[in-house]
Amino acid sequence: MMDRLDTIPPEQLLARGFAHMDRRAFLRLAAMAAAGAIASARGFAADPPASVAPGAPELARFPEKTDLILLTDRPPQLEMPLRYFRQELTPNEAFFVRWHLSGIPTSIDVGTFRLAVGGHVENPLTLTLDQLRKDFEQVSVVAVNQCSGNSRSFFEPRVPGGQWANGAMGNAKWTGVRLRDLLEKAKMKSGAVDVTFQGLDRAPLPATPAFIKSLPADRAGELDAIVAYEMNGAPLPMLNGFPLRLIVPGWFATYWVKALNEINVTSEKFPGFWMAKAYRVPANPEMAESPKELAKDTVPISTMPIRSLFARPEPGEQVPAGKAYDIEGLAFDSGKGIQKIEVSTDGGKTWADATLGKDLGKYSWRLWKFTWTPGAKGPTTLMARATNAAGETQPATPRWNRSGYARNVIERLEVTVG
């Protein structure tokens, strides 16, 4: 049973991973979530959000978070502002938030918490957080966590779902134990088909499918997946999955199950809603659907395609004429490795190589910079495209799909030189 937070001394809250959290704000969150009475993000606010100009995105501040762009408050969907794309690692307090079910965990006793690994195995496990840290080798990986629907708001025609701009993503150093080591300890039986993952979030109604994701059993041990208990050297924020989160580097965030507490091996194909019905894309990755022609053959979305984005200038920013200006951005893929970034400052007529930043690993995003001295005043179009070690690059035209997933068209940014 979860402890009442109002009976826990502040120093114990900090020890449980609630560092930098405003206690009063978190109590308010816990009480409202338990009562099913969350109606406004303002109810979560530890501090008033920053004021915004008319027409600018609405900001909200949740526990352990700075001001983030508010999409929805129940369940929380919070987008990272563009300025954080200029950093190699995304600060925990600025990392985007995406939950599917409104019954999110708001109080977890690390003393009684257990991770269960069971199902079609010879040696079922029930592990404490201390056992995970002491009995298994600690590993770390820097990896991009990107929502499948990142940039959905740019799809034309528009599609339903959270209307993210480009900030439904972040880059962090994740630390924990290998999924492979857990499965080897549990000893999967012959005939294992899938491995499923479920967290502590719960649906508000019995008819709502539980959020459970799966990986093929023959691949779960091959992927560089880890069960993480730290993010950038600190305990995971509650809204990013405290105390444990599945990390599947190179794959979209739908597989990165938060508040993970159950891993099950199955002897049959997992038929759950979030695999069989949701998060599916055309089986032919080159196919562009249209509202009048939808793919009949679909598969679960998995790895992220190559992509580059602008971090500077920001939309609406005026670039001074005749002065050197550093265009900045980032690029990433599923783990093949970014090799080249090309930038155009004339709408694609000519291209030149940008300077790549530090390589933090094949699953990390890589910052890039291009120095530009604008000439004539007026509007111009900046473009950026990435190429990886496998020779893959971004398409010149967007591939529309019914769910607004996996956008990776060559990036364009309209700016004014003044």
Q: Is residue 109 part of a domain?
A: no
Let me know whether 194 and 339 are in one domain: no
Let me know whether 190 and 287 are in one domain: yes
Let me know whether 66 and 89 are in one domain: yes
Of 47-51, 66-70, 182-186, 290-294, the range with the lowest mean pLDDT is 47-51
Let me know whether 43 and 78 are in one domain: yes
Let me know whether 47 and 78 are in one domain: yes
157 upstream amide cis, omega within 30 of 0: yes
pLDDT for position 56: 75
Let me know whether 67 and 172 are in one domain: no
Give phi and psi for 181, each to the nearest 5.
-65, -40
Residue 40 has pLDDT above 70, yes or no: no
Q: Is residue 107 part of a domain?
A: no
Let me know whether 209 and 335 are in one domain: no
Q: Is residue 53 part of a domain?
A: yes
- Counting Cβ atoms within 10 Å, is residue 51 exposed (0-12), middle (13-18) or buried (19+)? exposed
Q: Is residue 242 part of a domain?
A: yes
Query: Considering 283, 300, 317, which residue would you say is the last residue of a domain?
Result: 300
HEC string for 199-243: ECCECCCCCCCCCEEEEEHHHHCCCCCEEEEEECCEECCHHHCCC
Residue 122 has pLDDT above 50, yes or no: yes
Q: Number of folded domains in the chain?
A: 3
Query: Considering 300, 318, 346, which residue would you say is the last residue of a domain?
Result: 300
pLDDT band at 55, cuts 50/70/90?
low
pLDDT for position 54: 56
Q: What's the CA dihedral at 329, 335, 155, 42 to 10 degrees?
A: -70
| Mean pLDDT score of the chain | 89
The whole model's pTM is what? 0.89
pLDDT for position 53: 54
Q: Is residue 103 part of a domain?
A: no
Question: Which residue type does 101 have?
Answer: L
pLDDT, tens only, 314-372: 998 999 999 999 999 999 999 999 999 999 999 999 999 999 999 999 999 999 999 99
Q: Please enumerate in sequence order all residues whose Cβ is within 8 A of that of 147, keeping only pairs 6 or more positions apart, or say none.
A: 96, 98, 162, 164, 168, 169, 252, 253, 254
Let me know whether 196 and 52 are in one domain: no
Output the CA angle 42-59-161, nearest 5 degrees.
Answer: 95
Q: Is residue 207 part of a domain?
A: yes
Let me know whether 123 and 85 are in one domain: no
Q: Is residue 104 part of a domain?
A: no
Let me know whether 311 and 409 are in one domain: yes
pLDDT for position 18: 41
Q: Is residue 192 part of a domain?
A: yes
- The domain that contains 188 carries what CATH number? 3.90.420.10
Rounded Cα–Cα distance for residues 51 and 254 (Å): 32
Let me know whether 390 and 344 are in one domain: yes
Do 354 and 369 form a contact (C-beta atoms < 8 A)? yes
- The domain that contains 386 carries what CATH number? 2.60.40.650
Let me know whether 346 and 384 are in one domain: yes
Give the residue numbers spanning the domain of 220.
115-300
